[in-house]
Amino acid sequence: METRHISSIALFANVRKPGPVETAAALAPWIRARGLECRVPADLASLLPGEMPSPEDDVLNADLVVVLGGDGTTLTVARKLARRRGVMLTVRFGSFGFLAEVEPEKVEIALEQVLAGDCNLEVRPMLSTTRLCGGKVVEEHPALNDVALVRGGSSRLVKIEAFLNDSPLAVYSGDGVLVSTATGSTGYNLAAGGPIVHPTLDAYIITPICPHALHFRSLVVPGESRLVLRMAETDGEAQTSVDGQITFPLRHGDELQVRQSPFGARFITLPGRPTIYDKVRLRLRWGERLL
């Protein structure tokens, strides 16, 4: 990967945990000692003695963003960076760490590799989620992991009409429908019985959640597919969740459009690091005996 243009590095951290903040405190002077500009958002700067906050636009426009946290932190940063084509180096502070590239104790070594150009760029497809009410767009969000349309507070099943590429696909009856990227296939999709898909694959997955019929199964569709979801009942209401972090309702008459985003999440990968298959084997314990 060509990295001669890197002159600024931003630090994003899960400020609710001490580990990411402590690592950021050590990284900031390390970055500046190498003649690079270090940009820190306000929430993190307030926890670092003597650190001045950078405007959010400057942080998001840095040549490289180092993400210190779990997969949830990475999802948040990925959505912020998507339209800016920002590049992330992810540092593992969570439990599963499917989105993490490097362990905290090796972050400085990893940055040396990146600055020397000894790294690669991996682009992960994302989803674009649009809610229409009365035919008008009322909100739109990118998603790196998934979009879930699930029943609200009621214990009743929801019925959701699905249309793929303008043709009827199914009427799902159950707890809801999950639309997952290949990256998100190891998250909610896996728990709902969906398949694991290589994260760079140009495809996404439609998985029924606790369907009220045994014949419903996950469907892997090409990335250019266009999916529309609607409530099939006049008195029904469902809750939409984007990456498990952004929520809004979907009522009868509303329409949820899901398609692949024109923007992807851009991750730094390092030679010799575990592959997705290694992570599946280690994180999901596929290499262990059950008895």
Which pLDDT score, from 0 to 100, does residue 3 have?
47
The distance of Cα 27 from the centroid of its chain, to the nearest Å, equals 24
Q: Stretch 164-182: mean pLDDT, rounded?
A: 96
The total of other beta-carbon atoms located within 10 Å of residue 277's CB is 11
Smallest CA-to-CA distance from 129 within 180, 175, 77 is with 180
Q: For domain 127-262, say whether CATH 3.40.50.450 is its number.
A: no
From the number of C-beta atoms within 10 Å of its C-beta (0-12, 13-18, 19+), residue 256 rates as buried
In sequence order, the 6+-apart residues with CB closer than 8 A to the CB of 150 are 158, 175, 176, 209, 238, 239, 241
d(CA 259, CA 166): 12
Which residues on neighbouring strands pair with residue 140, listed in sequence order? Answer: 130
Measured CA to CA in angstroms, residue 67 lies from 47, 53, 74, 75 at distances of 16, 16, 6, 10
Q: How confident is the model at residue 274 (pLDDT cuts 50, 70, 90)?
A: confident
DSSP sequence for 64-107: EEEEEE-HHHHHHHHHHHGGGT-EEEEEE-SSS-TT--B-GGGH
By percentage, how much of the chain surpasses pLDDT 70?
A: 96
* Low-confidence winner among 134-138, 263-267, 284-288 (lowest mean pLDDT): 284-288
Query: Residue 129: what pLDDT?
Result: 97
Adjacent-strand bridge partners of 180? 146, 205
Average pLDDT over residues 3-22: 90
CA–CA distance, 176 with 183 (Å, rounded to integer):
20
Cite the active site residues. 71
For residue 126, count other CB atoms closer than 10 A to its CB.
Answer: 24
Mean pLDDT of the chain: 92
Closest CA to 203 of 186, 181, 187: 181
Residue 291: per-residue pLDDT: 62
- Residue-wise pLDDT tens digits, 238-255: 899 999 999 999 988 899
Identify the residue whose tokens are 């851009």: 266
Tell which CATH classification among 3.40.47.10, 3.10.20.30, 3.40.50.10330, 3.90.330.10 matches the domain 8-119+270-283.
3.40.50.10330
Distance linking the first and last C-alpha atoms of the chain: 45
Total-model pTM: 0.91
Q: In this structure, are strands 167-174 and 158-164 parallel, antiparallel, or unpaired?
A: antiparallel
Question: What is the rounded average pLDDT of the residues 4-30?
Answer: 94
Domains in the chain: boundaries: 8-119+270-283, 127-262
